[in-house]
Structure 1
Amino acid sequence: MGIVKISDELHEEIRKASTAMVRSINSQSEYWIKIGMLAELNPTMTYSDIIKEQLRQADVKAKDVSDE
């Protein structure tokens, strides 16, 4: 585990987002870092595609509500 230095402004945005997303500040930061890394590695995928793929890899069986 290491320490990542970020600006006070970014820290404040992470804090606000973590409250809205019901995550700790560290979990929110880790989530954004992971999604950003996946987006850079897969530039043709949308955010939704990335999330769907992560859920598929975790074997989450979620029903697509748009099919109803």
Structure 2
Amino acid sequence: MGIVKISDELHDEIRKSSSVMSRSINSQAEFWIKMGMLAELNPTLTFHEIMKRQLLKEVLTISEAIDE
């Protein structure tokens, strides 16, 4: 685990969003970082399409585990 330096303004936005989304500040930052990375890797997909793919990936992983 490392330390990432961000501006005070961005930290305030993360704090506000984390409260609305019922996530910790760290979890909210991690979510935004992951979504940003996925958006850069999939520039033609919308946010909703990226989320759907991630959810389907988790469902498949869970169902595969149940079958074993």
Asked if these proteins are the same fold (TM beyond 0.5), I'd say yes
Structure 1, residues 8-64: CA drift from partner, whole Å, max 9, x if none?
00000000000000000000000000000000000000000000000000007xxxx
CA distance in structure 2 between the partners assigned to 1:22 and 1:54 by the alignment: 20
**Root-mean-square deviation over aligned CA pairs:** 0.9
Q: Any runs of at least 4 consecutive aligned residues in structure 1 with deviations exceeding 2 A, and if so which?
A: none
In 2, distance between residues paired with 1:54 and 1:22?
20
Does residue 44 in structure 1 map to residue 47 in structure 2? no
Count of residues in correspondence between the two structures = 60
Higher helix proportion = 2
TM-score between both structures, scaled by the size of structure 2:
0.87
Q: Please name the residue that 1:56 is paired with.
A: 56
2:49 match: secondary structure? helix
Unaligned runs of 5+ in 1: 61-68
Q: Identical aligned pairs, as a percentage?
A: 68
TM-score, length basis structure 1: 0.87
* AA of the residue aligned to 1:57: K
Alignment of 1:1-68 (within 5 A): 1-59=1-59
Q: Which amino acid aligns with 1:43?
A: P
Query: Structure 2 CA distance, aligned partners of 1:25 and 1:37?
Result: 18
1:47, 1:12 → 2: CA distance? 23
Structure 2 gap ranges (5+): 61-68
